[in-house]
Amino acid sequence: MLNSEIPWSATYAPEPTAPPLKDLFGDEGARRSAMRFHLQDRVYGGGKMALHSLFRMLSPEAGSNFAGRIVAPRSRAYYRGKPFIQRMDRMIARLRPELADDPAAREAVVDRWFENTARAMAEFSHLEAVSTPPRTTVEGLEIVERLQAEGRSMVLTTVHTGMWEMISYLSSRHFGDKGTGAWAPQSNRFENRIVADTRRKLGIKVLPATPKLARQLYKSLAVPGQTIVLVIDELSEKQVKFPLFGRPVEDRCNFAFALYAAQRTGAAIVPAVITRTGPTRFTFRYNEPIDVPKGNDGFHSAALALNAVYEPHVLAHLDQWYMLHEVKVP
């Protein structure tokens, strides 16, 4: 299945059915659902849309600096002491043992995490501008071009570091009609509209996570030379299952799906790594392909090879890793 065969309607996140307004005055369960849909989601989503519009009016640098220097510190102060902040502190100590006895250093990592997250959200408003020179340097493109010349199908992977959303833009340019991605919609419909509208304006087709997504991706990968794009550190079953950090490989996550898809179709896994090098400055690097041999041993050897690319990268850039606020490592 080529990109040109995918209707734009298939790239939009399904939206919840609006509860009747009378439910605002109904029993507790109905009232809570109606309050969220009609009031809470609109207020939160409206704020997101207003910020997106503001950042669109600013230059990429001005928007990123506003988010990093003004929005991030206020957001950090608002969430100080929240359970997820305490968990982040524990995870930093667990993943970076040299910081276990240095609370000030761990605090600084969290501060920089808020800054990177805020900047990334602002930079999404200028996705094309921040994903291209001089703001982004692409390395290893010759790897992809070599595989394309060989007619190889690919599973392109990445994780949530730097300005992770650029994977959708760059893959759409580097793979054209033979590159299809997947995305996990947010719980707020207004946020999903921002993402979908931005991508459509740039001609980027990315399929939302639905019960039929796996079948759609396998269908795409069946086309010779086709590429699917997966972010493999997503939240699955309330846990971030990749990088492994000493844990066993688990099913029911994009990491495992990437391996299974490559093994089943003979596609090469191409790990891409995104690193922020400064405000609105990034390096996007394609790494050498990883093949997934047949059988359980082949699957696990490829899993360890893929983990060997991403785990050191994430550990070196915990302050850029968005999923730090969700990961739970024993």
Listed residues 65, 91, 126: the one ending a domain: 126
Instruction: Tell which of 92, 126, 160 closes a domain.
Output: 126
Question: Is 188 within a domain?
Answer: yes
Q: Considering the entire predicted model, what is its pTM?
A: 0.94
Q: In a 3-state reduction of DSSP, which class is residue 222?
A: coil
Give residue 52's domain range: 21-126
Beta strands in the chain (DSSP E): 136-139, 154-158, 179-183, 206-208, 227-231, 235-236, 239-240, 268-278, 281-286
User: Residue 221 CB: number of other CB atoms within 10 A?
Assistant: 22
Tally of structural domains, the chain: 2
Nearest to 299 by CA among 248, 229, 228: 248
Nearest alpha-carbon partner for 110 in 141, 89, 128, 87:
89
Considering only CA atoms, which of 231, 173, 160, 178 is closest in space to residue 202? 173
d(CA 139, CA 136): 10
pLDDT tens by residue, the chain, 330 residues: 788 888 999 999 999 999 999 989 989 889 999 999 999 999 999 999 999 999 999 999 999 999 999 999 999 999 999 999 999 999 999 999 999 999 999 999 999 999 999 999 999 999 999 999 999 999 999 999 999 999 999 999 999 999 999 999 999 999 998 998 899 898 999 999 999 999 999 999 999 988 889 888 988 888 889 999 999 999 998 999 999 999 999 988 999 999 999 999 999 999 999 999 999 999 999 999 999 999 999 999 999 999 999 999 999 999 999 999 999 999
Residues 274 and 298 in one domain: yes
Q: Are 37 and 15 in contact (CB under 8 A)?
A: no
The runs of H, that is alpha helices, within 58-188 are 60-66, 72-79, 83-95, 103-123, 127-130, 141-149, 166-175
State whether 96 and 155 are in the same domain. no
